[in-house]
Structure formats: C-alpha cells, structure tokens
C-alpha cells in the first residue's frame, strides 16, 4: 500500500457571497455561511462524505483522478485550513463513499477498488489513524461487482457497512450488509432484495442495537424504483422491510435516528413522464410504521443526498437543485422540525456544477456541508461550506455576577434567551441541584425577543459565599451555563 501527502491548491468560494437565500421567520434557529473553500489540484477531485473528529477537524473523503483514480482523504481545521491529506493507491481505480470516526478516535473509510485486469469493483475498507496513517485495509467481495456506500460503528465496537453486490447466480445487484469486528475481520454478511436491482445507500444503528438501511428496490410497490427501508437485528436477520410510495421513481439516499427516537429517511422522487424531481422524506417509528411523509421542492430538479440531527431536535437535509434551462446545479440545505415543517433553508446559486454529498452538525452547533464543485477553467474540486449558528441560547442575571446582601432572604432573577427548543433547564444552589426541569410545564415562547424563559427564585442564603448556577441542556446533551455569587453579610457584622 502506498500513500503520500497531496499538494493542495486552495481557492476560496467567494462566489457564495452571491448566494440566493430563501428566508424564514427569525423565530427559528438560523445559520449563516461562515466560510467556504475548495480543495484540489489539477486532477478531478470529488468528495462523497464528511465527519468531524474530537478536535473539531473535518474529515472529507472521496477520490482524486488524473491518469488513475485514487482514494483521497483530507483533514481540515475549524477555520478551513488543511491539516493533512493522504492518497491511497491500492488499485488503478479506487474511491471512498463513506467514513466514520470510531470510539478510539481513528477513522474508517469505506468505498471500492477495481480489480486489476477486470472492470468490476470490490468493497474496500481502510482504517486510518487520527493523522491519516494507514492502520489496516481489507477487501471484500466475490466475482461480481461490489461497493460500499454507508458505514456505521456499532455498539460492540465493530462496523456495519451497506452497499451492493452482484456476486450471485444471475449477477443482479443485491443490497449487501457486511458486519466487521474492530480489526476489520468479517463476522457475517447478508444479501437483501428481489430478482431485480436492489441497492443499500446508507445504514444506522438504532438505540435498540438493530440496524436500519435504506436505498431502492426495482419493480416493487408498483413503481420502477421504490423508496426502500429495512430493519434487521444485530445478526442481520429481518425485523421489517417496507417500501414507502411517493411516486413511480423513488430512491432513499440517507437516513438517521433522530434525537426523538424516530427514524428519518430522505431521498428523491419523480413521476415517469416528467423529469421533475422533488425531495422525499419520511418519518418512521421503530416498527417501521410511517408517522408522516412529505415532499419538498427547491426548484425543478431536486435531490437530497444526506441529513443530520441538530441540537434542538431538528433535522437538516442537504442536496442539490436545478432550475430552468440552466445546466448548473446548486448546493441546497433545509432545516425541518420533527413534524416536517420547513424552518430554514438556503440555496447557493452559481453558474457551476455543485453537488453536496454530506452534511453534519459540528461541535459548535453549526453545520458543515461537503461535496464537489466544477467550474469551467478550474475543473472538479472538493467543496466545503461551514455555517455558523447565530442563535445559541444565553443566560443572564439581573443582578451583578458578584453581589452582596444584608438579608438571608434573596430573590434571584434570571433570563434565558433562546430561539431553539431546549431539553432541560436546571438551577444549582451551593453546588446542589435546587430546581430541575424548569421548562417541564412551561411552553417556551421562542418568538419572544426579551426573555423566553424567566426564572424567579426565592433563596435562603447561607452566611458568607453563596453560589448560584443555571445550566441549560439541548437535545444533544450539550450544556451552556452561567453563574453568579452572592455574599450574605448579616447586619450585625456590617462595619459602618
């Protein structure tokens, strides 16, 4: 296995300053573009996935193609500057389709490599150290065509990978799930589908340690392509298997278990007679029952490629859109609530070909979206957009952060300003929990600009130093806190 650092030729996405923005009410959490960059040289560089490590660096994986196509992984810091990059040359043609950060802080990348002297692919899985050095790599497959599309680390420390394989009697593509241990050894593999082409594009592990994957099945459910979601147990045995009808040409591309325990699946749909694609999204319970399904339109041709959960129990969807007769395609991103209502979205309109393939929520509650861009005279490059969240909750006190009192009776007045739903609000008094779940029976007015959550407490102060702390927790268990100190000096001890 050979690899080397790739020379970067960085260019800023100044063009996004001209982005077309579709605005929604300010009462909801909003994002603004913080920075955007492209990475690549004179090769054709395409990014297919993005993850964030424990240091806040963003890892992008895909391929770089000049004379040959090779798997390429780069690490970018929180400001958009490259940390490292490595290209892996196992076979003449190879590429990455998905990646995951493991609990030991390393990186596992899944994709494909092409067998030499054959035009068929095999699944290729690599484990890299946090600085991109190869720890191990494994190939899987038979004599057919195979590739990985989705990967997840499982509860037992292993890996579950979704893709397709045509290693069967009739050489038709089947959805393929393979389970590995932490060292990359195969534990089991299963094939799913019917007699036609069936693909698994993404996979997640649910809170009950089952596996849910999505993709499409051909000629099932009355359509040409069916929006397909299947749940299996930790051994790959079927639990349920459903197609969700939207139209006649439906594909599920990505899924996630929401913070509310439901499963959200996105993709795209169109009729057979009209080339007019719309975003398709469905919310399922753990038994596979459809809670709701909806379509979203950005333009004339819209396809969703990825989704992620957000700290306030929302869902963000990324994809691309085309409108009118222009051959260009644009990055697009939409945020919805748990009922599928659109809260916020942006379309970045440029005269270029832009294809986002992954979106994540970052540690600072912002967003990062990665994909590929093409401009005439520049070629194909990795593209990375970082969004800033402008609506982080804040905690303030009406009194000074350090105050004195001559009375043991003290009235605390605090205010929480938020444009997002919160999971919990707690008050600590002298390092002990004084009040829990402040918002349990309180409806948060997120349209209120002054104070969404007022807190009024009557406290009996101890002599000397008293510490009061307010802690708010979002739906990803991120916490923000603020504290004040009150010194109680009895009147008899006041020096006049």
Which one of 346, 371, 389 terminates a domain? 389
- Over residues 336-355, the pLDDT tens digits come to 999 999 998 888 877 778 88
Please, what sign has the CA dihedral across residues 75, 184, 48, 33? negative
Say if CB 346 and CB 367 are below 8 A apart. no
**Same domain assignment for residues 385 and 419:** no
Residue 281 and residue 170 share a domain: yes
Domain count, the chain: 2
pLDDT tens profile 66-119? 767 789 999 999 999 999 999 997 777 889 999 999 999 999 999 998 876 567
230-261 confidence digits (pLDDT tens): 999 999 999 999 999 999 899 999 999 999 99
Domain of 109 in residue numbering reads as: 3-389
Range list of β-strands (E), 206-300:
211-218, 225-232, 238-243, 249-257, 263-270, 278-284, 290-296
Q: Does the pLDDT value for residue 10 go beyond 60?
A: no
**Selection from 225, 343, 229 nearest residue 283 by Cα:** 229
For the chain, the average pLDDT equals 86
% of residues, the chain, pLDDT over 70: 87
Domain boundary among the residues 369, 389, 409 is at 389
Q: Burial letters for 241-261: b for 16+ Cβ neighbours within 10 Å, e otherwise?
A: ebbbebbbbbbbbbbbbbbee
Give yes or no: residues 181 and 305 share one domain.
yes
Quick one: pLDDT at residue 192?
93
Does pLDDT of 23 surpass 50?
no
pLDDT, one tens digit per residue, over 178-205 is 999 999 999 999 999 876 789 999 999 9
Task: Specify the 3-state DSSP secondary structure of 339.
Answer: coil
pTM of this prediction?
0.86
Q: How far is residue 434's CA from residue 328's CA, in Å, rounded to a whole number?
A: 57
Q: Decide if pLDDT at 446 tops 60.
A: no
Does one domain contain both 415 and 462?
Answer: yes
Token pair listed for 341: 């209502």
Residues 351 and 427 occupy one common structural domain: no
Question: Does 358 share its domain with 445?
Answer: no
Sequence-distant (≥ 6) Cβ neighbours of residue 168 within 8 angstroms = 144, 174, 191
pLDDT of residue 162: 97
Instruction: Report the alpha-carbon distance of residue 196 to residue 191 in Å, rounded.
Output: 13
- Give the residue from 389, 421, 436 where a domain finishes: 389
User: Is 16 strand, coil or helix?
Assistant: helix
Domain with residue 429: its CATH number is 2.60.40.10
> Does 408 share its domain with 368?
no
Neighbouring C-beta atoms of residue 379, cutoff 10 Å: 14
Please indicate, yes or no, whether residues 28 and 80 belong to a single structural domain of this protein: yes
Same domain, 426 and 453: yes
pLDDT computed for residue 208 by the predictor: 94
Q: What's the CATH code of the domain at 180?
A: 2.130.10.10
Q: Cα(278)–Cα(206) distance, rounded to whole angstroms?
A: 27
Same domain, 255 and 400: no
Residues 60 and 84 in one domain: yes
If asked whether residues 371 and 476 sit together in one domain, one would say no
């Amino acid at each position: 296995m050979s690899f080397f650092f790739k020379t970067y030729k960085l260019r800023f996405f100044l063009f996004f300053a001209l982005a077309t923005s579709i605005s929604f009410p300010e009462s909801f959490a909003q994002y603004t573009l913080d920075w955007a960059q492209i990475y690549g040289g004179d090769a054709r560089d395409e990014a297919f996935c993005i993850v964030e490590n424990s240091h806040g660096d963003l890892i992008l994986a895909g391929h770089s193609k000049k004379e040959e196509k090779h798997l390429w992984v780069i690490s970018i810091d929180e400001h958009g500057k490259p940390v490292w990059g490595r290209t892996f040359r196992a076979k003449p043609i190879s590429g990455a389709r998905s990646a995951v950060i493991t609990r030991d802080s390393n990186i596992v990348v899944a994709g494909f490599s092409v067998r030499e002297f054959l035009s068929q692919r095999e699944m290729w899985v690599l484990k890299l150290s946090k600085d991109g050095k190869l720890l191990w790599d494994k190939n899987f497959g038979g004599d057919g065509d195979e590739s990985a599309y989705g990967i997840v680390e499982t509860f037992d420390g292993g890996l579950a990978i979704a893709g397709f394989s045509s290693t069967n009697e009739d050489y038709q593509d089947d959805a393929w799930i393979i389970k590995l241990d932490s060292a990359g050894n195969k534990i089991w593999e299963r094939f799913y589908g019917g007699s036609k082409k069936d693909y698994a594009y993404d996979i997640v592990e649910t809170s009950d340690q089952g596996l849910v994957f999505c993709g499409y099945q051909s000629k099932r459910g009355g359509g040409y392509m069916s929006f397909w979601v299947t749940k299996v147990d930790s051994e790959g045995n079927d639990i349920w298997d459903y197609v969700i009808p939207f139209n006649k040409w439906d594909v599920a591309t990505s899924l996630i278990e929401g913070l509310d325990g439901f499963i959200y699946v996105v993709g795209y749909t169109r009729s057979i007679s009209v080339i007019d694609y719309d975003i398709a999204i469905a919310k399922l319970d753990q038994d596979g029952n459809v809670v709701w399904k909806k379509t979203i339109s950005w333009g004339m041709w819209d396809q969703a490629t990825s989704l992620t959960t957000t700290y306030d129990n929302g869902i963000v969807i990324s994809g691309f859109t085309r409108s009118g007769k222009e051959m260009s395609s644009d990055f697009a991103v939409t945020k919805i609530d748990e009922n599928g209502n659109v809260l916020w979205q942006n379309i970045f309109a440029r005269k270029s070909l832009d294809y986002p393939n992954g979106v994540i929520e970052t540690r600072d509650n912002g967003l990062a979206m990665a994909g590929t861009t093409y401009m005439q005279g520049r070629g194909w490059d990795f593209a990375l957009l970082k969004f800033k969240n402008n609506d982080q909750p804040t905690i303030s006190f009406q009194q000074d952060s350090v105050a004195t009192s001559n009375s043991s009776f003290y009235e605390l007045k605090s205010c929480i300003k938020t444009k997002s739903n919160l999971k919990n609000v707690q008050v600590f008094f002298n390092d002990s929990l004084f009040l829990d779940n402040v918002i349990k029976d309180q409806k948060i007015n997120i349209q209120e600009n002054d104070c969404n959550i007022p807190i009024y407490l009557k406290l009996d102060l101890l002599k000397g130093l008293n510490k009061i702390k307010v802690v708010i927790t979002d739906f990803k268990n991120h916490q923000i806190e603020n504290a004040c100190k009150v010194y109680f000096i009895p009147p008899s001890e006041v020096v006049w």
